[in-house]
Amino acid sequence: MENQFKLPDENLGNGESSRRVSDLIEEIRADIDFELDDAVTDIVRDLPEEYFQRMDHENQVTHLKGLIASRICQLSSELFLPSTDGTQVAVLGRKSYRGQLAYILSELPGKRTRLVGANIYTARSHGFILDVFEFETDQNPAVDASFSAEIVEKLAEKTASPTDSVADFLSRIRTTSAKSPNLEKLARFYSAYQQVSPQKPIVVDQGESVDSLSDIVLAIQSQDERLTFQRTTESLSKLSLDIEQAELVVVRFDKAADEPVSQRSNKVVLMNFLVSESEVGPFEVEAWIDSLTSVVSG
């Protein structure tokens, strides 16, 4: 069948129509250029500083293009942007609402992939969200995060721990999200990781509040990192807490290089959440830990 879809100038009957199309194109271009001037500036200023510390330039450009398109098209639902190799999915949304992260986790494509890392961002104005998820497959296994000897030494000093123990912990992180590591957060992750055991499968560390946001670090022994992350976010939503930022890091006990992804079951899921204060009262950590039992046993 002959292709019926042609360029406008090939399918026009006269010069008047051609001029109308040209005028239309110029008008649209002018409108987009006008919107871009404001959109780019607003979006960049609205992104939290942590985003620029963690994401490389190539990803920043891709995400910014997606956020601009979402804004210009006034999309009402989340926009999923998977990478070509299936190892990363960026999710963009023009609104932020309670329970959103749990919903996004339930909708992520690729059930045959393993979630190995995530970075969750809410715009300062709450005008949009940008979530970045990292995956591995048997064909594209995640590489070990590469930390310099200087980072190992600084973390060992900060946690008063043996260098070998710290180096072993960092070598088991199966994500590349910590390109510019936050030493304070790494120290909290390491401390929580050290406390996890079969007898104590959940460790929670509530840090000092940051700008009226509760700063929570968790370590959970788990066989399903995606389900654990999803159920944890759901439990926070049930407490009327809004997740402003979050980070997920997966640490494997057994780091055999030739082990198929489908057989990797011994893991510790490390999570950090910045959550808004609850509308129904103070955040009761002990009660929350009790409610998290289902995350491990469910």
Mean pLDDT (the chain) is: 81
pLDDT tops 70 at residue 250: yes
Residues 254-280: what's their mean pLDDT?
A: 66
pLDDT in tens, 170-206: 888 865 445 567 889 999 999 999 998 888 889 999 8
**3-state per-residue secondary structure call for the chain:** CCCCCCCHHHCCCCHHHHHHHHHHHHHHHHHHHHHHHHHHHHHHHHCCHHHHHHCCHHHHHHHHHHHHHHHHHCCCCCEEEECCCCCEEEEEECCCCCCHHHHHHHHCCCCCCEEEEEEEEECCCCCCEEEEEEEECCCCCCCCCCCCHHHHHHHHHHHCCCHHHHHHHHHCECCCCCCCCCHHHHHHHHHHHHHCECCECEEEEECCCECCEEEEEEEEEECCHHHHHHHHHHHHHHCCCCEEEEEEEEEECCCCCCCCHHHCCCEEEEEEEEEECCCCCCCCHHHHHHHCHHHHHC
- In this prediction, what percent of the chain has a pLDDT beyond 90? 30
Which position has the higher pLDDT, 107 or 289?
107
Task: Label residue 260 by pLDDT band (50, 70, 90).
Answer: very low
Query: Domain residues of the chain, as ranges?
Result: 8-43, 77-297
How would residue 255 be classed by pLDDT, with cut points 50, 70 and 90?
A: very low
**Whole-number pLDDT of residue 63:** 92
pLDDT of residue 282: 65
Q: Which residue has the higher pLDDT, 294 or 103?
A: 103
